[in-house]
Amino acid sequence: MQQFSNIEIAEIKSRIDQIQEMLATGTGGQAPAASQPDRIDAPVPGLIEQLNFSLQMRRTRKSHFGSNQLTGATWDMLLDLMLARTNGRELSASDLATGAGVALSSGLRMIALLEQLDLAERFVDERDRRRSIVRLTPNGVDSMTRYFEKMGHAWSGRQRYAA
């Protein structure tokens, strides 16, 4: 997944602000919709809020974890690990790679990164010693819990302002 620079994020935010203004005032002084094939005439309800919240989630994740590397398939693995822990399940390295949609070799590199960041750890499966079980570390559980608490507060705040 591509990372955006602060300048690119500012440009996206500026464009979102322009879209909000256009939606509030009609065409925003632009040419009629017929000459704008990419214009959304009937936006998805709450589209602007969803876009803003998605950007906020990414920014919060980056600042919370302090790593540009927790994106895409690596982030999917962290989500899978947190969900597995919450449901009392265990995941193998191959389960994580499959769930993230990457080859096992790539998945193992991503798991190694999570280990380096003290977010996950590997164990030999006692029932099948050929398998590695991956779990969140106590630090990983704490980091994910705090991140989702922040997102929960942000989501609640967004809901209050939308009402």
Query: Do residue 77 and residue 138 come from a single domain?
Result: yes
With respect to residue 88, please indicate whether it lies within any of the assigned structural domains: yes
Question: Mean pLDDT across the chain, nearest whole number?
Answer: 81
In a domain, 101, yes or no: yes
Residue 1 lies in a domain: no
Domain of residue 123: give its range.
72-143
**Would you place residue 32 in the very low, low, confident or very high pLDDT band (cuts 50, 70, 90)?**
very low
Whether the model clears a pTM of 0.85, i.e. scores above it, the answer is: no
Most distant CA pair in the chain, distance: 68
- Domain assignment of residue 132, yes or no: yes
Residues 6+ apart with CB under 8 A from 143: 64, 65, 119
Q: What is the mean pLDDT of residues 66-95?
A: 91
Q: Are 82 and 139 in the same domain?
A: yes
In angstroms, the CA 35 to CA 75 distance is 40
Greater confidence (162 vs 156) lies with 156
Q: Kindly tell me if the per-residue pLDDT of 130 is higher than 70.
A: yes
Question: Where is pLDDT greater, at 47 or 133?
Answer: 133
- Going by pLDDT thresholds of 50, 70 and 90, the confidence category of residue 64 is confident
User: Residue 55: CA atoms inside 13 Å, Cβ hemisphere, count?
Assistant: 17
Residues 81 and 127 in one domain: yes
Helix segments in 26-103, DSSP class H: 47-65, 72-86, 93-100
Q: What share of the chain is helix, strand, coil (3-state, %, to 5)?
A: 65, 5, 30
- Residue 128 is assigned to a structural domain of this protein: yes
What is the C-alpha to C-alpha distance for residues 82 and 140, in angstroms, rounded to an integer?
9
Tally the domains of the chain: 2
106/134 same-domain check: yes
Task: Choose between 21 and 60: higher pLDDT.
Answer: 60
Asked if residue 20 and residue 44 are part of one domain, the reply reads yes
